[in-house]
Amino acid sequence: MRKNQAIQAMREGKKVTHRYFLIDEWMTMEGDEILLEDGVRCSQDEFWRHRKDEVYLTDWSIWVDPENLEKEKLIGKMVSSKAEKNNTIDLNAYAIGLDEMYNELTKKS
């Protein structure tokens, strides 16, 4: 996603990451401040002052917790598979069901 889309997502409370961030690095917004994964807060001006290169205009995405990455990839693959088969199943309900099934199968005893 583009920078402006990432800013909008953060305003909606989502955590975003960039292609050049480490896997556990993310940022979001609380009020007018940017909140980083390590608890550091800064103004938007301060954050973007050091990120003026063109590379920061694109390559943003919604951050997925590395602990949930495998599950997200599996569910995404299975939902895409159903969609490609032009199945009329409600894909949202299907994804929720897969999520619950995955959680049950990987439950730590």
Do 7 and 56 belong to one domain? yes
Bridge partners (DSSP) listed for residue 58: none
* pLDDT, tens digit (0-9, with 9 covering 90-100), for 29-88: 999 999 999 999 999 999 999 999 999 999 999 998 877 767 777 767 766 766 666 655
Residues in the chain: 109
Q: In this structure, what is the dihedral angle of CA atoms 71, 74, 75, 80, given to the nearest 10 degrees?
A: 160
* Residue 18 Ramachandran class (φ > 0 left, ψ -120 to 50 alpha, else beta): beta
Domains of the chain: total: 2
pLDDT of residue 55: 95
Domain of 88 in residue numbering reads as 66-105
Q: Give yes or no: residues 9 and 55 share one domain.
A: yes
Whole-number pLDDT of residue 102: 72
Same domain as 40, residue 19: yes
My answer on whether 14 and 26 are in the same domain is yes
Residues 25 and 70 in one domain: no
User: Using an 8 Å Cβ cutoff, are 26 and 16 in contact?
Assistant: yes
How does residue 96 score in pLDDT terms, banded at 50, 70 and 90? low
Looking at per-residue confidence, does 109 or 49 come out higher?
Answer: 49
Whether residue 11 is found in the same domain as residue 30:
yes
